[in-house]
Chain A
Amino acid sequence: MSAALLIDILLWGSVFGVGLIAFRRGPPVFKASLREGSMDFINIVPRIALGVIGSGYIAAIIPQEVITGWLGPDSGWLGIATAVVAGAATPGGPVIGFSIGTVALKSGGGVPQVVAYVVAWALFAFQRVILWEIPFMPARFVWFRCAVSVPFPFVAAAIAMVIGKP
């Protein structure tokens, strides 16, 4: 729990810091941004609720074993492509994503495939996109960002092949 506490301290510390700067620009500036932030919060809560509650159900119908199965020692570019899909489809948070990566490494998955998996998970994990990115960002930005990110797990795998194992 201490990591979570640290995050909260950093987070509210940053809010306090920028709030103070805004306050020193004058109370009207401070009040306006306070109101704007609160309105954003109110508007975003239903979408976050849909994301949190919804992605729990989506995660429940994509069991972890399915993902692990996709990450077999199937090497080559087909294996990398499978790893990318697996990364995007991985339900749950960072513990699950990284644990699956570790399992794949230990059970003979190729290093470039695991790198592609971890990078794809970082870029596209559906739960993070649904839960955080879509509610907060303009939808057009999110789809655009995802589309232009598609080549990069493959680029990372290619770099991994060239420079070798860790």
Chain B
Amino acid sequence: MRKPIGWSTIIIAALVAVSAALVWRRDGTDGVLDILTHDLTLFGGILPRVLAGCLLGAFISEILPHEKVSRSLGPKSGLKGLLIGTAFGAILPGGPFTAYPVASALLAVGADFGATIAMVVSWTLIGYGRAVAWEIPIMGTDFTLWRIVISLPLPVLAGALGRFVYIRLYPKRGSDEDAA
């Protein structure tokens, strides 16, 4: 996965510091502590799932045959690769704690940005997990099904656009450059 501290982490930390300062100015120390307590509880609840997600990602990258993955999901996998990525994202069980570690594992074993984008976008837009748990109860079955039908072409299109841009942005890089 990634190195512990990168620019993204620094930007987020700065954003958090500014937000916390604003909360402190508006609600005082109590306001800051309230949010801290609530979020620490949330954090404690999330941790086991994060561990499960990390283990899932590690096992998957170990057991998937790398050359097969880069053939079916690599830069030269064409429309079929984008469709496989989309199907995989749509059937993946669990929440973000599974989707992102698994996506990261796929990148590591030879999937390209295009297929991985198709997978992530498919998980978020047509995956059944969130639709069944949240969208149908809150927004209704009609809206949800209709919204999913509208979203059906989007993962493949996003993956295709990603591939198109990536090749032009990084023409010299090989297929497996993001293995680290």
Measuring CB to CB, which residues of chain A are less than 8 angstroms from any residue of chain B?
3, 7-8, 10-12, 14-15, 18-19, 21-22, 25, 29, 32-34, 36-38, 40-41, 43-58, 60-61, 94-95, 98-99, 101-102, 105, 115, 118-119, 122-123, 128, 130-142, 144-145, 147-149, 151-152, 155-156, 159-160, 163, 165-166
**Most central of A11, A29, A99, A119 by chain B CB within 10 Å:** A11
- Between A and B, 7 residue pairs with Cβ closer than 8 Å are A14-B98, A34-B58, A54-B20, A137-B100, A152-B121, A155-B157, A166-B146
Q: How far is the CB of B119 from chain A (nearest CB, A)?
A: 10
The CA of A156 and the CA of B153, in the complex, are separated in Å by: 9
CB <8 Å contact, B138 and A95: yes
A45/B178 in contact, CB under 8 A: no
User: How far apart are the CA atoms of A118 and B35 in the complex, in Å?
Assistant: 26
- Cβ-defined contact, A99 with B138, below 8 A: yes
Min Cβ gap A53→B in Å is 4
Contact indicator A149/B52 (Cβ below 8 Å): no
Please pick, from B9, B56, B98, B130, the residue contacting A47 in the complex, using a CB distance under 8 A: B9
Instruction: Tell whether, in the assembled complex, residue B19 and residue A132 are in contact, meaning their CB atoms are under 8 Å apart.
Output: no
Instruction: With A7-B95, A15-B59, A102-B138 as known contacts, state yes or no: A41 contacts B50, CB within 8 Å.
Output: yes
The residues of B that contact A57 with a CB separation of less than 8 Å are 16, 19-20, 22-23, 32, 35
**What residue of chain A has the Cβ atom nearest to residue B116's Cβ?**
A141
Write the chain A residue with the least CB distance to B4: A43
CB neighbours of B32 from chain A (8 A): 57
Q: Are A10 and B93 in contact (CB under 8 A)?
A: yes
Chain A proximity of B7: nearest CB distance (Å)? 7
A58-B15 contact, Cβ under 8 Å, with A123-B125, A132-B96: yes
Q: Which residues 124-178 in B have Cβ within 8 Å of A in the complex?
A: 124-125, 129-130, 133-135, 138-140, 142-143, 145-147, 150-151, 153-154, 157-158, 161-162, 165-166, 178
B12-A134 in contact (CB<8A) = yes
Q: Are A56 and B39 in contact (CB under 8 A)?
A: yes
Indicate whether A160 sits within 8 Å of B43 (C-beta atoms), given known contacts A54-B13, A56-B38: no
